[in-house]
Structure 1
Amino acid sequence: MPAFIEAPILIDPDCDMPFELMCDASDFAIGAVLRQRQEKHFRPIHYASKAMTEAESNYTTTEKEMLVVVYAFEKFRSYLIMNKSIVYTKYFALKYLFAKKDSKARLLHRVLLLQEFTFKVIDTKGAENLAADPLSRLENPHQNVLDPKEINESFPLETLNIV
């Protein structure tokens, strides 16, 4: 109980400070953390994650990483629309994607969705993106976990006699 009293798990946002997004995508899920710096420490404001659809799980790595950035900006729109923000991702190609004009239509569409926001992208190592990483590590939701297995319906009589 003292840990809950001493330091807040989530903080209230300060609209005078820049917001930071930590984003990560795995093969089957995406995750994002909205945070701010408070007294030289990063403090989370909000967490978000979701499983990808079966179609989204077939996207390329670039498309998945762009998907999580768009998801985060849509999810936290009310915080980010009028404020400067920084996006941290371990996928460095996103940094250059916003200047590229000859990308796939799906990527260009997502770039257009983000043009109303003021932000910069900073690439980080996976070890520095610890907050968002677990949020994107869900198990495969499209895999049948109830694989049909053979059921042995013949019980030896000696096990029944023990009871």
Structure 2
Amino acid sequence: MAASMGATMPHFTLLLFALGVSTMLSAHGMSTEHPKKDCQPPIDLKFKSVLNVTVNIRRKSLGLEKDVSKRSLTPWYYSHDIDNNRFPSMISVAKCRHAQCLDAQGNLDLSVNSVPIKQEILVLRWKMIGCTPSFSLEKQMVNVGCTCVRPIYKM
């Protein structure tokens, strides 16, 4: 449990930082979306209209991520879920290549099923409510890989 919490802590810290920056921008009338025509321009023009943020997340990579998805008995590929009103705007999503798993020789094994492994992540979502940008922290389920399971037989 502690190991899994440590892995998600940088994401949570990053989302809290983004929420703080977004709140600051919102409080000063800044938005990444063009305001509606009937909205008043921001009153306080002392703040910069662009905020540069650099986030360096260093992690030791073994370089096996792509290799595992191909060597698995339930191979998968990644697609990209893009939403410009969400942070992060792009999330890689695993999709199982087959409905069944592979045997040791690489042939489909009809006795077991391939299913996605799901992970819940936190995302920052924003939308305009009238002339005010609104920010919310949301949970989102993401497929991160695939695994083999025995099928469920209904009697």
> Shorter-chain TM-score category?
under 0.3
Q: Which has the higher strand share?
A: 2
TM-score by length of 1: 0.20
Q: Which has the higher helix share?
A: 1
